[in-house]
Amino acid sequence: MADMKIGAYICKGCGLGERLDTGALENIASREGKADIVRQHDYLCSAEGVALIRKDIDEEGVDHVVVAACSRRAKTDAFRFEDVACSRVNLREGVIWIRPDTEEARETTQEMAEDYVRMGCAEVRHMKVPHPSNEQPRNTHVLVVGGGVSGMTAALEAARAGYAATIVEKADHLGGHAAELWRRIPTRAPYSDPEVPEIDAMIAAVQAEPNITVYLNARLKKTSGAPGRFYADIETPDGVVTESFGSIVQASGFKPYDANRLPEFGYGKSPDVVTQLELERMAREADGAPIKRPSDGKEVTKVVFVQCAGQRSDEEGHLPYCSGYCCSASIKQAMYFKDQNPDIDTVIYYTDLRTPGAGGEDFYRSAQDKEVIFSKAVVKEVTPGDGGLQVRLHDLILDEEAVTDADLVVLATGMVPNSGVDIEKLTKPNVEEAGDEAEGGQEAEATVEIPVESILNLDYRQGPDVPQLVHGFADSHFICFPYETRRTGIYTTGPVRRPMDIAQAMDDATGAAMKAIQEIENAARGRAAHPRSGDLSFPEFRKEGCTQCKRCTVECPFGAINEDEQRYPVFNESRCRRCGTCMGACPVRVISFENYSVDTVGQQIKAVEVPEESEEKPRILVLACENDAYPALDMAAHNGIAYSAFARVIPVRCLGSVNTIWVTDALNSGYDGVVLMGCRKGEDYQCHFVKGSEMAHYRMSKIFDTLQQLGLETERVVTHEVAITDIQRAPGLIDEMAQTIEQIGLSPLKF
């Protein structure tokens, strides 16, 4: 700290020089901010402006930089000085663009700008230049779990990019369910006919690729470590092989829904009621010859396809979701019959026909041209009859009951993800339990029998597999970061992540392979994965102050914190996403990052000049998530949407990083209100760090006791869920707090 040299640089471009007294800002940075060098420039982001800063770094020894210009989300390349600590002061989007350009507003606009300069200088004084811990070397080996279309695609893409790949497949062959198909849904124009699968060519490409190793009849006995240094014990028929990997792609595919759960459709009662996958095997055996029904070998003259069999249903044991590919698969299979014999009666009963993809509509039209019949109906029952099957249905067009005969009935039963153990059901580590554990210093360990076979067998305290989302699909940040799971360096792809067809699975696997490669390179440099990709900082803690409460280990969404023999936390740099949830959880505030800490935010809060009560100028602290809420405020500024001049906005990495001390310090310092803005939580979460917003909401629900102890109204602290698209709503929430303060009065704690 003693050798720190601060340089503060104030931009006058984009109207800042016309709207603000930059000379006064210079004095603030110099006198109150204790900056050693303060300079103004007409356009700091220009080559000359950047060179000005660079020169002071190289020649004057400046190692802490304050850039007072535009939002930290703008001009990131221009103001990237990786060898110094840098604080961005948002004078453009955060001040002049959200304030009216009038004489009456000039005073409060200038006060905002001066406060933000104070805050930037206060922040940078408590920042350090982050350095990687050099925990692991560069490991260019990708582990791919599953040898179906998704797994083979991921391995091939990684190998072609120059990275080694190892496929672990539990079956005795590659290809997965796709290897059982006779034909596939078309992927090329004119999208009129089923295509010959390319699965054999793909298998041959995998076998011929020197960068790919394949283990068949194999499973993962144990997986441990972290990005850059995963270790997998691979159990094969010849014994256990242990290998090291840089990242992992889980492409474990799906299991067909069990049609035995559909007795109403006659499955199990008649061999002539089959699933789509069973029909594929029949078609492969026929290989273009007439398909014969299993019961007596008679050629099929009438076939009925039942869509959404056990899918899109609220009935217990059924799948509540659409598997996506089934309608196109039924159209393809109906063509098996029509292409062999146009006189075969072929009917597809559906409630909603869904044919996603570029050629979906063309494929459907081609089936109509081939006289495949599409009938909007709900099939109620299939029963064996004299010499065939009887199908009872409700016609949705005529709104009447009907019965038809069939030689063969095909059920579109859908996908069940092969994702392994449901960790959430095993442990259920909710926020309230985490708080209770912290209070008592004990951890409630759950002992639950594992209900299904594990895929990864992770040696993680959080469980043996990646968490699952709704309906059992493997974890992925489906809105913002496809493929990313809560286990850093492990990427899910294909139908284990969401329902999809072969074409979608291949695209999906390519993306997962690219993310696996990115993580290999990030881990080798000690950098974070999404969404703070490239961040070198990682958590540190003051051991002498730690109370071993376990809040950090329990609340970390990513399994990045273990414990040593003495139950002190052990932080894993390469698993860490740099969200700061552990920092927000720590009741004794001993966890910090070199460039983000309780002090970097706390000192900003204290740096704001809080007017005396007689001035009747409230101060509102806004802690805004940098991923959704802060961008929403920036975009509001771009759209000329104003909000209260009494707000002081501090971006935080995640609402989960908010330590309650920031709120209590703000209130004790005379702030009149505090607004927290985080991402949407819950089942349809949008939180970039998965659980951060949920954790923050829980913590803030406890703050009301503190408010009562201080003699303050509970309305002075509010927590909101804000989406990045809430361009109108986000500034409106700040104005709502300003109106609340106007109604209940200024804080009685003002000095």
Token couple for 617 = 């100028």
| 401 and 381 fall within a common domain | yes
| 278 and 399 fall within a common domain | yes
Residue 442 lies inside a defined structural domain of this protein = no
Residue 548 lies inside a defined structural domain of this protein = no
As a whole number of angstroms, the distance between CA 258 and CA 136 comes to 44
Range 168-186 average pLDDT: 95
pLDDT tens-digit series, residues 548-582: 998 999 899 898 998 888 889 999 888 999 999 99
End position of a domain, from candidates 524, 546, 562: 524
What percentage of residues in the chain have a pLDDT greater than 70? 95
Residue 427's pLDDT band, with cuts at 50, 70 and 90, is low
pLDDT tens-digit series, residues 661-680: 999 999 999 999 999 999 98
Query: For the domain that residue 520 is a member of, what is the CATH number?
Result: 3.50.50.60
Pairing of strands 717-721, 561-563: unpaired
| Res 428: pLDDT | 47
Indicate whether 620 pLDDT > 90: yes
SS3 203: helix
Residue 602 lies inside a defined structural domain of this protein = no
| 477 and 394 fall within a common domain | no
Pairing of strands 254-256, 415-417: antiparallel
As a whole number of angstroms, the distance between CA 165 and CA 151 comes to 10
Number of domains in the chain: 4
Judge contact between 654 and 544, C-beta under 8 A.
no
Residue 571 lies inside a defined structural domain of this protein = no
| 680 and 706 fall within a common domain | yes
pLDDT tens-digit series, residues 14-44: 999 999 999 999 999 999 999 999 999 999 9
End position of a domain, from candidates 129, 162, 181: 129
Residue 435 lies inside a defined structural domain of this protein = no
Any idea which residue has 């072969």 for tokens? 502
As a whole number of angstroms, the distance between CA 467 and CA 474 comes to 6
Residue 426's pLDDT band, with cuts at 50, 70 and 90, is low
Kindly report which listed range (166-170, 223-227, 354-358) carries the lowest average pLDDT score: 354-358
Contacts of 117 (CB under 8 A, 6+ apart): 8, 10, 25, 28, 29, 33, 66, 68, 89, 91
Judge contact between 550 and 443, C-beta under 8 A.
yes
| 178 and 202 fall within a common domain | yes
Indicate whether 431 pLDDT > 60: no
Residue 749's pLDDT band, with cuts at 50, 70 and 90, is confident
Residue 449's pLDDT band, with cuts at 50, 70 and 90, is very low
Indicate whether 751 pLDDT > 80: no
What's the DSSP call for residue 30? I
What is the domain range of residue 511? Answer: 141-253+418-422+453-524
DSSP string, 415-435: EEE-----HHHHH---HHHHH
Query: For the domain that residue 697 is a member of, what is the CATH number?
Result: 3.40.50
| 114 and 159 fall within a common domain | no
Residue 581 lies inside a defined structural domain of this protein = no
| Res 439: pLDDT | 39
Instruction: For residue 222, report the phi and psi dihedrals to the nearest 5 degrees.
Output: -160, 140
| 263 and 230 fall within a common domain | no
Range 477-484 average pLDDT: 78
Judge contact between 692 and 655, C-beta under 8 A.
yes
As a whole number of angstroms, the distance between CA 565 and CA 257 comes to 45
Judge contact between 135 and 228, C-beta under 8 A.
yes
End position of a domain, from candidates 497, 524, 551: 524
Contacts of 507 (CB under 8 A, 6+ apart): none
Indicate whether 435 pLDDT > 70: no
| 629 and 699 fall within a common domain | yes
pLDDT tens-digit series, residues 302-334: 999 999 999 999 998 899 999 989 999 999 999
Residue 356's pLDDT band, with cuts at 50, 70 and 90, is confident
In this prediction the pTM is 0.89
| Res 436: pLDDT | 45
pLDDT tens-digit series, residues 501-524: 999 999 999 999 999 999 999 999
Residue 589 lies inside a defined structural domain of this protein = no
Query: For the domain that residue 55 is a member of, what is the CATH number?
Result: 3.40.50.2300
Q: Which of 668, 574, 569, 682 is nearest to 621 (CA)?
A: 668
Token couple for 555 = 């609340």
Any idea which residue has 């059924």 for tokens? 318
Q: Which secondary-structure segment (H or E) carries 744?
A: helix 729-744
| 337 and 400 fall within a common domain | yes
| 239 and 267 fall within a common domain | no
Residue 490's pLDDT band, with cuts at 50, 70 and 90, is very high
| 632 and 740 fall within a common domain | yes
Mean pLDDT across the chain, nearest whole number?
91
Helix, strand, coil abundance in the chain, percent, nearest 5: 35, 20, 45
Residue 443 lies inside a defined structural domain of this protein = no
pLDDT tens-digit series, residues 117-161: 999 999 999 999 888 777 778 999 999 999 999 999 999 999 999
| 116 and 18 fall within a common domain | yes
